[in-house]
Structures are given as C-alpha cells and as structure tokens.
Amino acid sequence: MSFREKIHWIALVGLLSAFGWYFLNYPWEIANSPKGMYTAVWMLLPVTIIFLVPMVAGAAFFAIRSPKDADLKEDEREKGIHLRGTHLAYYPLAIGVQLNIFVLINGFNYGYAVTILIATLVIAELIRVGSQLYYYRRGY
C-alpha cells in the first residue's frame, strides 16, 4: 500500500469519527436559532482537532517508517485517481449548495444552514476519499 493510500485511509477514518461525533451530538432542537448557529460553529473546533490529530500523527508515523515512499512524487496513475475522485465529489457539492439555497428560502436558517453546508462538504469529501480508495484498491 502506497504512502498516499495510507493517508487516504486515515483521512476516511478521521472524517467519519470527527463528523460522526458532530452530527450525533449537535443539539437539533435549537438548530433554527442564532444559538444553534453559534453552537454549530463552536463544535467545529473539536471536530478539527479530532480530524487533524490522527492525520498529522499518521502522516508522521508513516513518513518516519518509510521516508522513501513519503518523498515520492505523485505519478500519472495517482494523478488520474485524484482527478477522478475530485470529479465525483463535485456533484454532491453542487447538489448540497442548491439544497442549502432551497432551505434558506424556506425559512430554515442559522444552525440548519451551517449544518447543511457542513454535511455537503463532508459527503463530498467522503465520496472523494472513498472513490480514490476504491480506485487505489482496484488498480485504477
């Protein structure tokens, strides 16, 4: 397994852990209020920590363990994998933004808007990282 694939696995676990915690613990009863919006924004702090700490620790661990792999430049196959993953992630991102416009027009504001934007980003990232891992496993 290449260094970049390992980093992708860590990112996938980090995304699921951090945003899994966020969506399970968000106080939905106050979502449509200014307090709901501030809570959503405040909760991004622990989410960032939960996501970044294993990413940095994992990247450092694998870089120390196999520095040659970590120094390798992205080759044509990996570039293709990354482009395909990013392309697939565009669709949920576009749909999520349109959904957010729809809910804003219909009176769901504050925490709902922030949370839907976060969910849009998370789903797009999960599709990007997940599809890239699929292509890594399949060969291309």
- Least Å distance, CB 87 to other proteins, is 17
Site for other proteins in 54-73 (CB under 8 A): 72
Only one of the segments 17-25, 26-34, 49-57, 75-83 lies at the binding site for other proteins (rule: CB under 8 A); that segment is: 75-83
State yes or no: residue 85 binds other proteins (CB under 8 A). no
Neighbours of 96 (CB within 10 A): 19
If DSSP states are collapsed to H, E and C, what string results for the chain? CCHHHHHHHHHHHHHHHHHHHHHHHCCHHHCCCHHHHHHHHHHHHHHHHHHHHHHHHHHHHHHHHCHHHHHCCCCHHHHHHHHHHHHHHHHHHHHHHHHHHHHHHCCCCCHHHHHHHHHHHHHHHHHHHHHHHHHHHHCC
Determine which residue in the list 1, 41, 52, 83 makes contact with other proteins, applying CB under 8 A: 1
For 3, other C-beta atoms within 10 Å of its C-beta total 18
Give yes or no for residue 125 binding other proteins (CB under 8 A).
no
When asked if residue 45 is in the footprint of other proteins (CB under 8 A), the reply is no
**Alpha-carbon dihedral 87, 92, 97, 103, rounded to 10 degrees:** 170
The reply on whether position 78 binds other proteins by CB under 8 A is yes
Q: Which of 5, 21, 84, 86 binds other proteins (CB under 8 A)?
A: 5
Single out the residue of 53, 56, 75, 91 in contact with other proteins (rule: CB under 8 A). 75
Nearer CB in complex with other proteins: 112/136: 136
Question: Quick one: 105 or 140, whose CB is closer to other proteins?
Answer: 140
Q: Which parts of this chain interact with other proteins (CB under 8 A)? A: 1-2, 5, 72, 75-78, 136, 138-140
